[in-house]
Amino acid sequence: MKLGVRSGSWSHQHEWFGPVLGVMVAPDFTTAIRWQNRTDFGLTAGLQSLDEVECELWMDRIQAGNLYVNRGITGRL
């Protein structure tokens, strides 16, 4: 786990191939979506949330090929 990843940093802008979790703390949900969309990769994206409005907003705005809400994102059920 890599804590304290900053927006625009190497850890934010590069795809990790392995079991690495980079944790970023955004001031609000809109900023988090903007940061997520600022990467050059985005085949798969996932969100865990119980807020239906938040889920809809995320699905409308996120730029990724495969979107997963409230489930795993690794392709296996």
Q: Each residue of 21-32: pLDDT tens digit? A: 888 999 999 999
pLDDT category at 75 given cuts 50, 70, 90 is low
8 vs 15, higher pLDDT: 8
Instruction: In whole angstroms, give the CA distance from residue 75 to residue 47.
Output: 15
With CA atoms as reference, report the closest residue to 33 among 4, 5, 2, 64.
64
What Å distances lie between residue 11 and 17, 20, 21, 25, 60, CA to CA? 12, 10, 10, 14, 25
The per-residue pLDDT for range 32-50, each reduced to its tens digit, is 999 999 988 778 899 999 9
Better-predicted residue by pLDDT, 73 or 63:
63
